[in-house]
Each structure stands twice: as structure tokens, then as C-alpha cells.
Structure 1
Amino acid sequence: MPDKHGRVCVIRWRQVADSEQWSLSRLVSEVQRCCSVSRLRAHRLVRGWTLAQAVHEFRDLCVAHQLACPRLDPDQLRVWETRRDRRPQRTTIDLLCRLYRTNARDLALEPAGDYSAADSTSTPDARPIGALHTRPAPTAATPTALPTDPLEAIRHTVDRTLASASVTSGQLDLMEERLLLHRQQYIVSPPQQMLTELAADLGEVQLLAAERQPASAQLRLSEMTAILSTLVADALMKLGRLRQAGAWYATARTAADDSGRPDLRARVRVQAAMLPYYYGPLENAVRLAHEARLLTQNRPTETAAFAAAAEARARARIGDAAGAEAAMSMAQNLFARTRHPASGDDAWAFPERRLLLYLSGTLTSMALPRRAREKQQQAHTLYLTRPGTIDPTLLRLDEAICLVHERHMDDACQLARCTYMGVPPEHRTRILEARARNVIETAPEPLRKSRSARELDDCLTLPPGRG
């Protein structure tokens, strides 16, 4: 049962509760109702705790009261909060009642102790909301948690901080597996659908990244943040939400820089170069792709080949034929020396068919239709077994632009119109529209007013799902 509204909603209810002097029980009930969460989760949310923080508080409670502490991690607590068929043991329920200073009935769990007034003579309903973050103090018989020697006390605090990681390597492995699945789904799924799925995992990654983690775990979280943010930015770009896309690309670059991995830093920059390539300014596309290539130090990797190919394509668009030829040659040379994974069905991969797509775009912009058509035919052969992506559509739009260079304006516009309208509405993104408009923009001024050009323009102004 995922949180329906999230922290902002809980904060709003807490403000109302404070101003109107609600009881804790009423606040929990309102959060449970409004956010469609379990009673157990509502108790955690009103305290402002993440799953990891609640587990820490649970363990500290056991230590403070010298109680046997059952094994508990954030994943297990999440299960108890979201699944009605999974319940903790009676002794654990008792500890949860102590943690939340309530009783089992209020947690919607089986009977256990009642700790709703453990630290006060007042009833639980009378307890002020502002006291939610406090924990029952240890009894007088409880030994002090830290040694009396100040230096030894500091050492114990440091050790405890170092041991306070809220994520295990196994959890990170599972999150990376989900990320790989997203990368595979991304090349065939509509961008709006992917945004929802990516946002959910990105939120989970950020909750963990915001807490103290070992350096190795923090680096992995930064890497996941960079990749997820890049995919979010790319989806927003496809949908035409350009300002948001630019902001998310900036976030992705920050996360990649935080990871310290040159290859990831380069990959995020070359992905970000797509935004100015399609929507301008083109000089920014050249700059980002060039920065990416420098970060790779021209080592034979997929990212280095990708960066060189992106730079070639952007340079061709600004009329730098010599620079485009040099970058294109470098891309092919780097790609030939690169060891490639068995499968390229991954939005983060740069297989041969994508290299050919970039070479097609470069040669098309350089008005070299014969050479471009050769790359297009090779790419189409490789894409035959990979239906569902927009890349074959971009190749056909390149073909239409080549027809413009060859002065076959009517054929070019007809091919562009049929190609664009043949794409399912949910995949008919602003990128495809922008590339289809290049067919008209590439033509000499008199041909832009031809009947076929007007028909193509009318087709591109139709809302998705029409025509």
C-alpha cells in the first residue's frame, strides 16, 4: 500500500493538528484516511520518520530498556505496514506499541501491551502533538548508554554512527536490478508511463541517499540517482516539457559528478546534449558532447563512441563539415575497438544500430544523401528485430530529409507524414514532431509553401490521437 500523498500531506495535517490542538489519535486517523495507508504506517508518518529512522528508533528503544531486540530492517517494517496477511510476533507488537506509545488496537495489530500513557499521567488523546518525536526515557535502573570518559564516549558515538547504515548491499543489488528493468522497458514504453515508474524508484533512492551511508553505498546511490534522473529528463524532453527536462539533466549531472565516475559523468552529458540538439541552441549540444568526449579521454568505450557520434551529429547541424567528419571517424574507430555487451536492449546501451542512427543524422545534415542512405539501410536491418522504439521512425525521417536534398519535395513530405502518423499516439512525442518539421525547414523557401509541405504542417499540428 504505497503512500498516496506523501510527506507534504502529512506536514499539512500536522499543522492543522497543532493549530486546533488535536489528539494524536485523531491526527493518525486523518493521515490514515487521507493518504490511504495502514494504521501502523500512519503512526510512523505523523512522527516524520522514514522506514530506516523508525528501525533506528526501535533498536534504540530496545537498548535503552535492556530489552531483547528482534531482527528488524526497513523492508520488514514496510511489509508489516502494507500487507494485512503479514503480522509481527506478539513480543514485537509489544515493542512497536512502546515505540509509538500506544496500544495494539490503535496500531490495528493483535493484542499486546498498552503504552499510550507510559511517560505521562494524561490520556493518549491529551498528549500534545508537538511531543511526537520524543521517546520514553530509560528507567532509573537502566545503565547509562555511554562511558563516563569523554574520549571513550566520543569513540562510542563514532562507532555507532559508522554502524548506522540503513541499506544493505543486498538491497542495493535489488534496486539496481529494478533500474536495469527500467532501462530495458524505457526503449519500448511511452514516456508518460515511464515517468510514473521512474519517479517511484527515484523517491526511494533519495530517501536512502539522504541518510548516512557507507561511502561505497553512497556512491552506488549517486550512480542510480544520475541514471534515473537522466531517464526522467529524457522522458520530459520527449513530452515537450523542456524547462523541466533541462532542470532534471542538471540534477543528473550533479549526481554523476558526485559519483566520481568519469564514464558516468560523460554519459550523462552526452545524453543531456540531446535537448539542445533537438530544440537549440545547437552550440550547447556541441559543447556538451565535446565535454563528454574529453571526460572519456578517448578510451575505447561505448560512452566515448557515443560522445563522438553525438558531437559529429551536432557539428553537422551547425555547418561544421570538417569537424563533423573528424568526429564521425573517431566514433567509428572507438566503436570498433569497444567490447560490447551481449544485448543492446537497454536505454543506457549504445549498440551498433544506434551508432548508425547517429551517422545517418550526421550525413543527412551534411546533405550527403547517398552516404546517409547506406547507413540508414544498415540500421534498418538491425532494427528489424527490435520493433517498438522511435529510432526506426527517426531513420525514416532522415530518409525524408535526404529526399528534400534530392529535390523530391512531394515524396519527402508524404514519407514524413505517413511515418509520423504511423506512430502510436502515446509515442508521438515532441522529438518526432521536431524532426518531422526539419523536413520542411530543410527545403528551399519556395518549396516550404508547396501543397505537400502545407499538408505535412497541418498533420503535425493535430493533437495526439487525431488524423
Structure 2
Amino acid sequence: MGHKPSCAASTRARALVNGWTIDMAVAAIVECCGVTRLRAHRFARGWTRARAVSELIALCDGLALDRPNPDAEQLGAWERSARMPRAQTIDLLCRLYRTDAQGLGLSGGYRADVCSPVTVFTPPVAPDVPVTERAAAPGSPDVSDPFDAVARAHRRAIERTLASTTLTTGELESLDGKLLTLRRDYVSDPPMVMLARLLTTLEEVRQYSEERQPALVQVRLSEMIAVLSTLTADALMKLGRKEQARDWYGTGKSAADDSGNRELRTRVRVQAAMLPFYYGPLTEAAALAHEAVLLNRGRPSATGAFAAAAEARIKARQGDEDGARASIAQARGLFERSRQAALEDDAWAFPYRRLQLYLSGAFTALGDTVQAGRAQEEALRLYPDHTGIDPALLRLEQAMCLVRQRSVSEACQLARDTYLAVPGDHRTQILGTRAADVIKITPKEARPRAARELGELLALPSGGT
């Protein structure tokens, strides 16, 4: 194959984003990477050769069919057209990949009597037992006991397994670098652009995770999957793909729990609370945020402040003023004591300006326009170019405060100007949902022409102008 496996992984990621069928993904991989259709079917599913073999065996067991007893090397030979599988095996491969022989590129040019090499069963032996260990060493105890050499060989094999890894230190550092770049680019790049990049990297990490890794490496890979899955969910949430976002948040939580990293488990849950915060139900958002607060256990960290600030914003929208103000105080206290220098150009950080964004949401929902205005001004001061979704959300909350102050026309005009000022590829459904909230809090009998115009604008496909 002329291209690296990451090329096929990138094509698979595009297929996931664009909703392609498996056949479409296979055709694209064949055309781009120049591989056989049999190999392209495996790549389209993101399977390693070992995974494909195990899936084939499971299929045979599930259907009570005789196993062809393939191994990864033999499958590779079939995929390179170096060998041709038997007719019966072709039938099993068609069942596995849910296509026909033509779809696998195996519809002609083979003879049913041409068999792949026979796998001969041999009794298990102690792996890699040196000849010197099989003989009795002078002065060694129990030299007549054959179990001694076998046990030592198995112990060494187990130790090699525990130390084995398909990831070099350099490759792990490369993955870390890719993840950091994605976290930084996520702050400014459009959600749809980021989706393809996130899914490509996720596929690369997943393939490494399928192999046996040392525990510490596996934990690191689970942490990466948690972060990448959560950012994928966030991008889908912004685009209004609620069900897909919910699924990816679930994957993020599972990976975070698998890592055992308490701060990461806290962070993923508070991020997941954003989906029901914007789209409902609020009770679900409240449960997730409270779970994050409990997981944090009051530790002074930016993540703990994030959890408390999110809970404050949710309580404010639920009408729990006392609870919201207590959570606001907790968020401020945890942030001040965290002593962490959060990077502002990192989507996985919780810097001071994001704290102010969340406090703005809480105070706006409480109707405390004075405190909300202070938080909005402080946050906007820290967004130098005032572009992107976060500054737009702050402007929309300024508009909501204007509604509270009975400046309805001015509020709707500000919401309209804010919405139109956001670049088209950032003007996603989550922004439209928040802009619509400006109209919702406006009394129907007091809605001016500007409110109607804003509603008409938001009703256009994709927020078109």
C-alpha cells in the first residue's frame, strides 16, 4: 500500500462526519490508497487484522459454522492478493463484511481447489526456552524437575507481555502533540472542520488502544480518548446534532472512568452538562453538574471552579437563587485558590475569562443585571478580537439584560447584529438557540418589530441572511 494507515483512517473519519455508507467509504479508500477491496473493507470499519480475524471467528461460532482458522498473516496475504482464500472462506468473508464476492474483489480468477496453507495443530510448548535452560545446570536445585524450566519460561513470557507495547515513547509524544494542537485550534476553528480532524486522531488512538499496552500507557490512551470524544461531542452540540453529541459524551465519560483520573472524570461530566443546559432538560444538566461537583470534593482547581460555575448557571435558570449564589461564591473561591495558570488558547482549559462567561450566565438568569454587566465587560475585555462563539454568547446575554431593563428594541437589535457578525461557519444552532432566548424572555405584548425581524432571521435555513 502506498499510503499510511492514517490516510485510510482520515477517509473513514470523513465518512463518519458526512454519513457515508460503508460501500462509499470502501470505494474512497480503494481510490485514495490503492488497496484491494478486501483490505478497504477492513479499513472502512477501523479494524486491525487481529480484530478482523477475531470477528470472523466470532461470526462462525455464532452461526455454528466451521472455522477457517485464519491468522493475521494469512488475512494479510489474502488482502494483498498473494493468496486466494477457499470458496467457503470467501463466503464467510462476505458474511463478515456484509457484501458479496464482487464487493470484496474476489468474484473471479480463483479456483475452489486452491487452498490456503493448512494450519497444523501442535501441542503448546514453553515459549522461547533456551537449550541451556532445558539442561540441568551444575549446582542448581531440582534439576530433575522439568516443571522448573517450563515455569521460568512462562514467567519470562508473562514479563515480556507486561512490558510489551506497540507505542514508542516518540509516538506517544507525537500523539500528545497532536492533541495539544487540536485543543488550541478548537478555540478558533469552525466545528465542522474540527470534527474531521478530531475523528481522524481518535481513530489513530483507538487502534493503539486495541493492542496490548503497559498499564500506564493504556491509561494515557484512555485519557486521550476522553478528551477527544468530549471535544467531538461539543462540536456536534454546537452544530445542533443532539443525539450524536449525547452518544459521544457517553463515550467520553466511559473513557474518563476507564482512566481513573478523577479530575478528568469531573471535567467530562461538567462538559456533558452543557448539552441539556442548552437543549434541555435542565434536570439532566443539574444532575451531571452536581455529580461533577461531588467528584471534585472541593479541591481548589480550575476544573472544580468550572463544575461549581456550571452548577450556578443551571440553578439560576431553575429559579434557585440561594443555591445559585452559593455556587457562584464556591466557583470564585476555588478558582482563586487553584493557582493554576490556565492557557486562554486551549479548549480544555478553564481560564478566568470563561469563569466570567459562566458567571454572566448565572447573573443574567437571576435578573441581576448589574453583576451580569460586570462579568460581561470583564470577559469581553479578555477576548481581544471579540470573534467566535464565546464573545457572541456574552453579547446575547447583554441583550437579555437589556430586556430585563425594558429596552426591548435595543436588545433585539443587539442580538440580531451579534448573530450576523459571527462568521457563517461559526453561526451554528447553539448560537441560534441562545439568540432565540432573547425573544422568549420578551413579553409577547411588548415585542417590537425588531423582535419579529430577529425571529424571522433565526427561522432561515442555517441562519441565512
Task: Give TM-score scaled by structure 2 length.
Answer: 0.74
Residue number in structure 1 paired with 2:441: 442
Cα distance, 1:151–1:401 mapped onto 2, change above 3 Å: same
What corresponds to 1:267 in structure 2? 267
Cα separation, partners in 2 of 1:146 and 1:33, compared to 1, 3 Å: same
> Are 1:464 and 2:462 an aligned pair?
yes
Deviation, structure 1 residue 387? 4.5
Closer, same or farther: CA 131–399 of 1 in aligned 2, 3 Å: farther
The residue aligned with 2:231 is 231
Q: Is the 8 A contact 1:400 1:415 kept in 2?
A: yes
Q: CA deviation at 1:50?
A: 8.6
The percent of aligned pairs where both chains have the same amino acid is: 46
8 A Cα contact 1:229 1:248, kept in partner: yes
User: CA 1:100/1:276 → structure 2, altered by over 3 Å: closer, same or farther?
Assistant: closer
Q: Deviations over 1:117-169 (max 9, x none)?
A: 9xxxxxxx75779977x7998xxxxx995448554553354244334421123
Paired residue for 1:241?
241
Q: Residue 213 and residue 316 in structure 1: after superposition, are their counterparts in 2 closer, same or farther (change >3 A)?
A: same
Report the counterpart of residue 30 of structure 2 in structure 1: 34
Give the equivalent residue in structure 2 for 1:84.
none
SS in structure 1 of the partner of residue 236 of structure 2: helix
2:397 maps to 398
Pairing of 1:243-392 with structure 2 (within 5 A): 243-341=243-341, 343-384=343-384, 386-392=385-391
Aligned-pair distance for 1:100? Answer: 6.0
Give me the whole-angstrom Cα distance separating, in 2, the residues matched to 1:285 and 1:32.
40
Q: Deviations over 1:196-218 (max 9, x none)?
A: 00000000111111111110010
Count of residue pairs the alignment pairs up: 389
Q: Distance in 2 between matches of 1:434 and 1:193?
A: 21
Output the amino acid matched with 2:415.
A
Shift of 1:310: 0.4
SS in 2 for 1:348: coil
Distance 1:460 1:98, change over 3 A: closer
Change (3 A) 1:430 1:38: same
Give the Cα–Cα distance (whole angstroms) in 2 for the partners of residues 167 and 388 of structure 1.
39
Match of 2:155 in 1: 155
In structure 1, the gaps of 5 or more residues are 14-29, 55-96, 108-114, 118-124, 138-142
Question: How has the CA–CA distance of structure 1 residues 151 and 129 changed in structure 2, closer, same or farther, with 3 Å as cutoff?
Answer: farther
Counterpart Cα distance in 1 of 2:386 and 2:114: 57
Query: Following the alignment from structure 1 to structure 2, what is the Cα–Cα distance between the partners of residues 195 and 130?
Result: 46
Residues 365 and 51 from structure 1, CA distance in 2 versus in 1: closer, same or farther, beyond 3 angstroms? Answer: closer
Distance 2:419 2:118 in 1: 62
1:418 shift after superposition: 0.8
Instruction: Find the aligned partners of 1:135 and 1:262 in 2 and give their Cα distance.
Output: 51
Question: 1:250-302: per-residue Cα shift (whole Å, max 9, x none)?
Answer: 11000000000110000000000100110111111121111111111111101
Once the two structures are TM-superposed, the CA of residue 317 in structure 1 deviates from its matched residue by 0.5
Q: CA deviation at 1:12?
A: 7.5
8 Å CA contact retained: 1:401, 1:412: yes
- CA 1:340/1:304 → structure 2, altered by over 3 Å: closer, same or farther? same
Aligned 8 A contact 1:43 1:100 in 2: no
Cα distance, 1:176–1:388 mapped onto 2, change above 3 Å: farther
Q: Is the 8 A contact 1:31 1:46 kept in 2?
A: no
1:412-431 aligned within 5 A? 412-431=411-430
Alignment correspondent of 1:25: none
Mapped to 2, the partners of 1:315 and 1:130 lie a distance apart of 71
Are 1:211 and 2:211 an aligned pair?
A: yes
Rounded to whole Å, the distance in 2 between the matches of 1:456 and 1:240 is 19
**Cα 1:144/1:265, change in 2 over 3 Å:** closer
Deviations 1:82-107 (A, max 9, x none): xxxxxxxxxxxxxxx999669xxx89
In structure 2, how many angstroms separate the alpha carbons of the residues matched to 1:129 and 1:224? 48
Counterpart amino acid of residue 169 in structure 1: T
- Separation (CA, whole Å) in 1 of partners of 2:28 and 2:316: 57
CA RMSD of aligned residues (A): 3.8
Partner of 1:197: 197
Structure 1 residues 413 and 129: alpha-carbon distance in aligned structure 2, compared to 1, 3 A threshold: farther
Checking the alignment, whether the CA contact within 8 Å between 1:275 and 1:285 is kept in structure 2 is yes
1:205-242 Cα distance to aligned partner (Å, 9 max, x none)? 11111111110010000000000000000000000000
Q: CA deviation at 1:371?
A: 1.4
Distance, in Å, in 2 between the alignment partners of 1:31 and 1:241 is: 27
Structure 2: state its 5+ residue gaps: 51-72, 85-108, 130-145
- Identify the range of structure 1 (331-340 vs 316-325) with the bigger mean alpha-carbon deviation: 331-340
Deviation at 1:44, TM superposition (A): 6.6
User: Would the aligned equivalents of 2:317 and 2:366 in 1 still touch at CA under 8 Å?
Assistant: yes
Deviation (angstroms), 1:177: 0.8
Distance 1:50 1:155, change over 3 A: farther
Name the CA distance, whole Å, in 1 between partners of 2:276 and 2:321.
19
- Distance, in Å, in 2 between the alignment partners of 1:457 and 1:261 is 44
Q: How does 1:117-128 map to 2 (within 5 A)?
A: 126=110
Asked if structure 1 preserves the Cα contact closer than 8 Å seen for 2:342 and 2:351, the reply is no
In 1: Cα distance, 2:335 partner to 2:290 partner: 17
1:380-430 CA-partner distances (Å, limit 9, x unpaired): 11112x544211100100000000001111111111011101111110111
- Partner Cα distance (1:250, 1:47) in 2: 26
Asked whether the 8 Å contact 2:165–2:212 carries over to 1, the reply is: yes
Aligned CA distance change for structure 1 residues 129 and 238 (closer, same or farther; 3 Å): farther
- 1:52 CA drift (Å): 8.0
Per-residue deviation, residues 313-340 of structure 1 (Å, max 9, x unmatched): 0100010000000000110111111122
Matched ranges for 1:50-199 at <5 A: 126=110, 146-147=128-129, 151-152=151-152, 154-199=154-199
Alpha-carbon displacement from aligned partner over 1:17-50 (angstroms, at most 9, x marks no partner): xxxxxxxxxxxxx9898353245x8897688899
Change (3 A) 1:126 1:262: same
- 1:408/1:311 Cα in 2 relative to 1: closer, same or farther (>3 Å)? same
Verify the 8 A CA contact 1:44 1:50 in the aligned structure 2: no
Contact 1:426 1:464 in 2 (8 A): no
Task: Identify the residue that residue 68 of structure 2 maps to in structure 1.
Answer: none
